[in-house]
Amino acid sequence: MTNKSKVLALKYRPQLFEDLIGQDIIADTIFNSIKENKVPNAYLFTGIRGVGKTTTARIIAKSLNCLNGVEKICKEKLCENCNAITNSNHIDVLEMDAASKTGVDDVRDLIEFSRYGPTTAKYKIFIIDEVHMLSKQAFNALLKTLEEPPEYLKFIFATTEIKKIPITVVSRCQRFDLSRVKSDELLEFIKRVKDKEKGKVSDEALKLIVKISEGSVRDALSLLDRALVSLNTGKELDLLSAQKIFGYFDKSQLINLFKLIFQGEEKKVLNMYRSIYDQGIEPKIFLNDFLEILYYFKNIESLKINGTNFSLNDEEFNTIKEISKNISTKTLILFWQFSIKTLGELDIVSNQNLSIEMFLIRMIHLTGFSSISQSISKSNISEEIKINKENEINIKNTESENSDLFDLKNKTIGQIKNINQEKQPEQNIKKDEKHTQNIIINSFYDLLKVCTLKKEIKLKYEIEKNVNLVSFENQRIEISFNENLDKEFIKIISLKLYEWTGNRWIITLSKKKGDISIKEKEESLKKNNLDKVKKGPIYKNVLNSFPDAELIDIENQGLDND
């Protein structure tokens, strides 16, 4: 294969330590160890794809076996050993792919081969790529030779998954962790390659290549190769063209999409997403970019433009910074949680595009939900709630004979005033803002209706599910509860009642078991109604026509409407 016909990732593969990109410390360390003749029995290189693991292994092999020595290693006119190692056909430098040779028999053949000294070189070198793919038995067979190899034998391992390698093997190697190449270094490198190839690519398009490559030099060169091939003669590849080639879209579209979501423009949000989808953007890529922009919204104050890995330009950075001032942290965290959940859902739906559209609609309504508490506190209640005493439901307060089942650790509680009720300073609540129209609460069900009106869903759930009413009268509520009740319940309901009515309420705990919870009442009512309907003539007529029919549910009209 001629040099011109090679792909860029092979054509510009580093041949010397000084050519390595972003691994200066590792290169200097290995060079010095070879220079001082302090070469370990085995090297272990780990890192993501395309950062130079196998390349570094070959450079070490050349440095150890170059006829001119490591300090005068061949650069242009290659010696016999360097030329053979570069072309991967040296008899004493064996490269093995552990993904295809994973068994113990392959390692035994390797060990048997190692018994013979090098033919033409100073060292016999085994380079094993993706070494984590070896079986447990293969690793065990390798241990003894790895610990005490012949002086002429050196092992070089490369892996992307260091955790899969037994610690007994790692401890016998000199380990080097190759880091992702920094964006600035990678950008300068592909700029030089672009100039050597006489390609015309804008800096913005090159920055997009760097971002997509995620610190991998091989990925960056492969993307640049693809970009240069797509160019028409004499035409420069700009950012828009690069986005189409690589399946990425302009981040400003996503920022505008966020703005529309926060404004509640459902129709415009869907239209904008559909235009993005029509550009050929996959739903998963869209959602990952959505998460990235969401991260910037949350942390924009602590970031710098040059610290975003070329994801944002100056205008986009400043736009996010301005919009984020009006968005609460709680909202952004909720967005993140729903986005992650939707990302998992994409694997189980047949049409991922529809799933993304429903996700965006949920985000719009989630924005309204997260800000509803603030909007209620700032606006006055349009109508005062008045409930006639005639419609009140009298709750029978019966004392249970089995009160010892109520888990109060066998202590007589009586009536206990909540300390938070007494110590809450009145000056902290401004009546001019909170109580322009005090709400009248005359019954337990009035309290539930106010919770619904005020969107206090959590409080309503606790009242319905975990509270047993003992008595309700004259701004005094006596309750018992089960073990699932929120420990902050009494504090919260006391504060809310004062906020809504303008009056102090006393919430007391009772040893009496009290009435069953509202949820239990609803379930009991549903069961009774279900039995009643099944015994009625309508259901019997249905069964006569449809013998296989079965009544499984019935809708309650609500306990307060009985």
The whole-angstrom separation of Cα 401 and Cα 422 is: 33
A 10 A CB-CB count for 418 gives 18
Write the CB contacts of 94 (distance below 8 Å, at least 6 apart in sequence): 110, 113, 124, 125, 126, 127
Cα angle value 240/241/244 (rounded, 5°): 90
Among 216, 182, 210, CA closest to 22: 182
Residue listed under structure tokens 């549910």: 553
pLDDT at 546: 66
**DSSP calls for 46-67:** E-STTSSHHHHHHHHHHHHH-T
For residue 433, count CB atoms less than 10 angstroms from its CB and return exposed for 0-12, middle for 13-18, buried for 19 or more.
exposed
| pLDDT one-digit tens code per residue, 232-291 | 767 888 888 888 888 776 677 888 888 888 888 889 999 989 988 887 788 888 898 889
Neighbours of 314 (CB within 10 A): 8
Tokens standing for residue 209: 């290549």
Distances (CA, A) of 247 to 280, 374, 469, 539: 6, 40, 61, 59
Q: Give long-range contacts, CB 8 A cutoff, 24+ apart: 64-72.
A: 64/34, 64/39, 64/121, 64/122, 64/123, 64/125, 64/154, 65/90, 65/92, 65/93, 65/121, 65/122, 65/123, 65/125, 70/31, 70/34, 70/35, 71/35
Average the pLDDT over 537-556 and give the result: 72
| Cα–Cα nearest to 14, from 29, 24, 2 | 24
Residue range 320-373, pLDDT digits in tens: 888 888 888 888 888 899 899 998 888 888 889 899 999 999 888 876 554 443
Give the pLDDT confidence score for residue 487 in this predicted structure: 78
Angstrom distance (rounded) from CA 249 to CA 285: 10
| pLDDT tens, residue by residue, 382-402 | 333 333 333 333 333 333 333
64 pLDDT above the threshold of 90? yes
pLDDT of residue 53 exceeding 90? yes
The one-character DSSP state at 348 is: G
Task: Please report, for residues 282, 322, 335, the alpha-carbon distance to residue 249 in angstroms, rounded to integers and kept in the order given.
Answer: 11, 22, 21
Q: Of 140-154, 192-206, 529-543, give the lowest mean pLDDT range.
A: 529-543
**Alpha-helical segments (H) within 400-554:** 419-423, 431-434, 444-453, 457-466, 489-501, 518-535, 537-545
Q: By percentage, how much of the chain surpasses pLDDT 70?
A: 82
Q: Is the pLDDT of residue 32 over 90?
A: yes
Residue 76's pLDDT band (cuts 50, 70, 90):
confident
Comparing 19-33, 51-65, 75-89, 243-257, the range with the smallest average pLDDT is: 243-257
Query: What pLDDT sits at residue 116?
Result: 87
CATH code of 8-177, in short, is 3.40.50.300
Residue 561 has pLDDT above 70, yes or no: no
Query: Would you call 472 exposed, middle or buried from its count of C-beta atoms within 10 A (0-12, 13-18, 19+)?
Result: buried
280, 274 in Cβ contact below 8 A?
no
What Å distances lie between residue 319 and 145, 300, 467, CA to CA? 60, 10, 48
pLDDT of residue 436: 42
Q: What is the pLDDT of residue 188?
A: 92
pLDDT value for 429: 40
Model confidence over 459-500: pLDDT tens digits? 888 888 888 888 888 788 888 887 788 878 888 888 888 888
Give the pLDDT confidence score for residue 28 in this predicted structure: 93
Q: Which residue has the higher pLDDT, 379 or 277?
A: 277
Determine what percent of the chain is predicted with pLDDT higher than 90: 22
CATH topology of domain 183-246: Helicase, Ruva Protein; domain 3 (1.10.8)
pLDDT at 414: 40
Give the CB-side neighbour count of residue 251, counting CA atoms within 13 A: 25
C-alpha 538, offset from chain centre: 53
Residue with the larger pLDDT of the pair 185 and 309: 185
Cβ–Cβ under 8 Å, residues 331 and 298: no
**What tokens were used for 175?**
């380990």
Q: Answer whether residue 6 shows pLDDT above 70.
A: yes
Q: Is the pLDDT of residue 404 over 50?
A: no
Structure-token pair, residue 40: 């370990």
Of the candidate ranges 184-198, 400-414, 513-527, the one whose mean pLDDT is the lowest:
400-414
Give residue 310's pLDDT band: very low, low, confident or very high (50, 70, 90). Answer: low
Residue showing tokens 């030329």: 83
pLDDT the model gives residue 373: 39
Among residues 87, 64, 86, the alpha carbon closest in space to that of 75 is found at: 86
Q: How many residues does the chain have?
A: 562
Sorted by where each begins, the domain ranges of the chain are 8-177, 183-246, 282-370, 389-515, 519-561
- Residue 545 is predicted with a pLDDT of 67
Could you report the per-residue pLDDT of 405-463, keeping only the tens digit for each? 334 334 333 433 443 444 444 444 444 444 445 788 888 888 888 888 888 888 888 88
- For residue 441, the one-letter residue type is I
- pLDDT band at residue 55, thresholds of 50, 70 and 90? very high
Tokens in use for 298? 């949350």
Asked whether the beta carbons of 497 and 459 are under 8 A apart, the reply is no
Contact 11, 56 (CB under 8 A): no
Cα 174 from Cα 139, distance rounded (Å): 17
Q: Which carries the bigger pLDDT value, residue 526 or residue 265?
A: 265
